[in-house]
Structure 1
Amino acid sequence: MLYRNFQTQTELDFQYNPGELGLDIPAYMNFYATNSAKVRDKLRCHLNVAFGPTVAEHLDIFPATEPNSPILVFIHGGYWIMGSSKDFNFVAQGLVAANVTVVVVNYALCPKVTIDEIVRQNRSAITWIYHHAESFGADPNRIYVAGHSAGGHLTAMVMATDWKNEYGVPDNIIKGGCAISGLFDLMPFPYTWLQPKLQLTWAEVLRNSPMLNLPEKAGSLLITYGGEETSEFQRQSQDFLTAWKEKGLTGEYLPQPQENHFTAIKGFLDADSPLCTAILRQMNVSSIKLQESRK
């Protein structure tokens, strides 16, 4: 079932607006920004690398310590209306320590652009990374994608791309994805507080709902979300994973029972966290503990 029987916008907003739950959102944003600044100071990085013609289309690249590393492309959240790559650079910390190159994508936001355009920009970013990976010491044949919230939606959308026919790159360019607290059914959003900025048409809802655009073939999918999130956020992920697997695609669920919508990505700070461990396993990369035990 793609939607529930909501009667009012207030009911929908309670489910989809984290601010309605009394969470201290500015404190979480400060946590992201502070840790991102620390990571930029600590790790080697190439910032604001253009992948498209507009100012918003750029990448922050955090190369691994060894050559020919796998790549984790991270797509930030913010309901398609807020946030930037710089707010989420902290996601590089744990994975770079495990010898994974991390690339954080920046993209234009609604209402300046549409969700159609945001999807296109992220697909273009993946294409650029494939063509330029060797220039920053990474392996173009081991690209994985992860995203949080709206970034989880965008992760699913790039995994469903007709890469060969639309971008002239291999169909299996993305080997796997991790969607964290994602949004896979856009049908509720024209009826929420977001609509004045999103300006979603029904055609856009249909084109950009991953639940309605499952690929015939795709890499493995890891789904995770916080156990303290609203029932609708949990339903979105559960329903999408079920549909993904019913399509015959490979999917896995990672529980994070103690986390909320904002803390579900804090595991990126620690290579041995359950989140990083699951992503590294998907990449067939040893965790830090396992690497050290082999020395």
Structure 2
Amino acid sequence: MSQENLDDAYANAAHIPDADLFPSRWNALAAGFREGMTEQGQAQLDLPYGDTPRQRFDLFHPVGTAKGLLVFIHGGYWLRFDKSVWSGFAAGAVQAGWAVAMPSYDLCPTVSIADITRQIAHMIPVVADMVAGPIIIAGHSAGGHLAARMCVPGALPETVAQRVVRALPISPVADLRPLLQTSMNEDFKLDMAAAEAESPVLMQPWPHIEISVWVGAEERPAFLEQATALAEAWECACIIDPGKHHFDVIDGLKDAESRLMALLLKD
């Protein structure tokens, strides 16, 4: 497939009606959620986990003792966004009694995708020391890639990895090799060895982690292929969410009673 065709295959906004409106909605939802949680004394914001300004995370606490910790890793093709856009998607887990950590990380081309993986692998032990109990990891798109990478032995310290009970890569980019042929690779600077070294489809996860892959039925075929390929490689479930595209497939995170949250936080 040509670079032009692969660029289109991985272009989400061009195929979603009113795609340009989603970031402002996410930002407004996030700002309102942070304000409310801060007023209630349930938010710790901009906590450092590394040396650069973007290596910060927000931690939202439920009322009472948390049942455990959910780490949500945002997407944006490792090129854009930060934690502040996604705060509102912590609502469902907080309502259900879980603490939620949302990290930012450095972006390409300033760092490599492998560097971002290492940053997230460093962040999770930091917040794990702050919240007792089981750990669940979820991420969307590029964040789905990072969530999957955290499930592979060698990413997290073993003592932390053993606390991870469940993971949900949502619309993940699980095979980075096709990205070599996209214009985005001008920023990623991947070669085949680097793409293979960061592709969860070529790895195997910790056997004790319960993993499911979630993807929208109305997503680009490339993302459906990526999701199903990861599920096949890891011999886990792939849930195809009817009527959802790449930007609204995470809406269930806002609602403690949603199908997505029922899967993510099940006892």
Q: TM-score normalized by structure 2?
A: 0.94
Count of residues paired in the alignment: 263
The match for 2:129 is: 131
State the secondary structure of the residue aligned to 2:86. helix
Residue number among 151, 166, 169 corresponding to 2:159 in the alignment = 169
Residues 162 and 171, structure 1, Cα contact 8 Å, conserved in 2: no
TM-superposition CA deviations, 1:72-102 (whole Å, max 9, x none): 1000000000010001111111110111111
The match for 1:63 is: 61
- The answer to whether residue 194 in structure 2 is matched with residue 204 in structure 1 is yes
The match for 1:275 is: 260
Aligned-partner residue type, residue 262 of structure 1: F
The range that moved more, 75-84 or 236-245, is 236-245
Residue number among 41, 44, 47 corresponding to 1:46 in the alignment = 44
CA shift at 1:218, angstroms?
Answer: 4.2
State the secondary structure of the residue aligned to 1:99. coil
Residues 128 and 160, structure 2, Cα contact 8 Å, conserved in 1: no
CA shift at 1:216, angstroms?
Answer: 5.1
Aligned-partner residue type, residue 32 of structure 2: K
Distance (whole Å) between structure 1 residues aligned to residue 217 and residue 77 of structure 2: 20
Residues 79 and 109, structure 2, Cα contact 8 Å, conserved in 1: yes
Residue number among 160, 171, 181 corresponding to 2:171 in the alignment = 181
The match for 1:80 is: 78
Residue number among 129, 134, 142 corresponding to 1:142 in the alignment = 134
Distance (whole Å) between structure 2 residues aligned to residue 47 and residue 91 of structure 1: 15
Distance (whole Å) between structure 2 residues aligned to residue 279 and residue 167 of structure 1: 23
Residues 3 and 182, structure 2, Cα contact 8 Å, conserved in 1: yes
The match for 1:28 is: 22
State the secondary structure of the residue aligned to 1:184. coil
1:245-264 correspondence to structure 2 within 5 Å: 245=235, 251-264=236-249
What RMSD over aligned residues (CA atoms) do the two structures have, in Å?
Answer: 1.5
Distance (whole Å) between structure 2 residues aligned to residue 218 and residue 201 of structure 1: 32
- Cα pair distance change 1:146/1:170, threshold 3 Å: closer
TM-superposition CA deviations, 1:218-276 (whole Å, max 9, x none): 4011211111001110011111101101xxxxx33333111100000011111111111
TM-superposition CA deviations, 1:179-220 (whole Å, max 9, x none): 111010000101112111111122210110001122352401
1:153-168 correspondence to structure 2 within 5 Å: 153-162=145-154, 167=157
State the secondary structure of the residue aligned to 2:62. coil
Distance (whole Å) between structure 1 residues aligned to residue 157 and residue 134 of structure 2: 18
CA shift at 1:131, angstroms?
Answer: 2.1
CA shift at 1:61, angstroms?
Answer: 0.4
Residues 150 and 183, structure 1, Cα contact 8 Å, conserved in 2: yes
State the secondary structure of the residue aligned to 1:183. coil
Distance (whole Å) between structure 2 residues aligned to residue 20 and residue 27 of structure 1: 13
Residues 54 and 106, structure 2, Cα contact 8 Å, conserved in 1: yes
Distance (whole Å) between structure 2 residues aligned to residue 35 and residue 155 of structure 1: 23
In structure 1, runs of 5+ residues without a counterpart are: 1-5, 134-138, 246-250, 285-295
Aligned-partner residue type, residue 99 of structure 2: T
- The answer to whether residue 91 in structure 2 is matched with residue 93 in structure 1 is yes
CA shift at 1:160, angstroms?
Answer: 0.6
- Cα pair distance change 1:216/1:46, threshold 3 Å: closer
CA shift at 1:170, angstroms?
Answer: 4.5
Residues 151 and 161, structure 2, Cα contact 8 Å, conserved in 1: no
CA shift at 1:68, angstroms?
Answer: 4.0
The range that moved more, 147-156 or 123-132, is 123-132
Aligned-partner residue type, residue 45 of structure 1: A
State the secondary structure of the residue aligned to 2:250. helix
CA shift at 1:173, angstroms?
Answer: 3.0
Q: TM-score normalized by structure 1?
A: 0.85
Distance (whole Å) between structure 1 residues aligned to residue 148 and residue 16 of structure 2: 29
In structure 2, runs of 5+ residues without a counterpart are: none
State the secondary structure of the residue aligned to 1:229. coil
